């Protein structure tokens, strides 16, 4: 898919839960294919869903994300190579998955580490989320899509607020 993107497409949309390391690999693969086909990376829009949770503090955001059913599911099914690419042993997802798929969210959540959340989600205050988006942009992402982890209206509004902060901090093209 990445080769086809570089060769033919106007853009690519990465799934939610990519790390900055995997985003860098995606962009490199697209750029290689584009260059070998006489195209420039700048002609291709690279978007990604960035799983986001905004709270008043980093600690509150980490704790809320850790207990979220979707986060537990995502960390359970995340590909091993994505864990390995961040330096996290993929075996650490096993107790998350075992407990999650048995319906024991509390036990599953107890195995979710800050390191996992930092690798695969954007959690924190609006400014901290903006800083994380910048890391993805340095990896080659040019169309960040902040996707709220939670579907609760106040949580979505805080993510939208972080998006507004991000837009205010972006430099004009």
Domain limits for position 106: 2-169
CATH number at residue 55: 3.20.20.30
Separation between Cα atoms, residue 54 and residue 68, nearest integer Å: 13
Look at phi and psi of residue 124 and say left if phi exceeds 0, alpha if psi is from -120 to 50, else beta.
left
Q: Domain tally for the chain?
A: 1
Cβ atoms of 150 and 60 closer than 8 Å = no
User: Tens digit of pLDDT per residue, the chain (173 long)?
Assistant: 999 999 999 999 999 999 999 999 999 999 999 999 999 999 999 999 999 999 999 999 999 999 999 999 999 999 999 999 999 999 999 999 999 999 999 999 999 999 999 999 999 999 999 999 999 999 999 999 999 999 999 999 999 999 988 888 765 55
Separation between Cα atoms, residue 125 and residue 53, nearest integer Å: 9
Residue 53 backbone dihedrals phi, psi, to 5 degrees: -140, 125
Q: Is the pTM of this model over 0.85?
A: yes
């Amino acid at each position: 898919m990445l080769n086809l993107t570089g060769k033919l497409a106007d853009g690519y949309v990465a799934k939610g839960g990519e790390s900055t390391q995997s985003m860098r690999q995606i962009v490199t693969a697209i750029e290689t294919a584009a260059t070998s086909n006489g195209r420039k990376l700048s002609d291709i829009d690279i978007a990604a869903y960035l799983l986001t949770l905004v709270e008043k503090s980093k600690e509150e955001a980490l704790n809320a994300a850790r207990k979220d059913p979707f986060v537990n599911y995502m960390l359970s099914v995340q590909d091993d190579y994505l864990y390995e690419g961040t330096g996290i042993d993929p075996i650490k997802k096993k107790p998350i998955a075992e407990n999650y798929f048995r319906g024991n969210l509390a036990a599953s959540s107890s195995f979710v580490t800050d390191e996992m959340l930092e690798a695969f989600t954007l959690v924190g205050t609006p400014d901290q989320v903006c800083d994380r988006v910048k890391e993805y942009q340095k990896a080659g992402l040019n169309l960040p899509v902040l996707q709220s982890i939670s579907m609760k209206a106040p949580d979505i509004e805080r993510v939208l607020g972080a998006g507004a902060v991000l837009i205010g901090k972006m430099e004009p093209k």
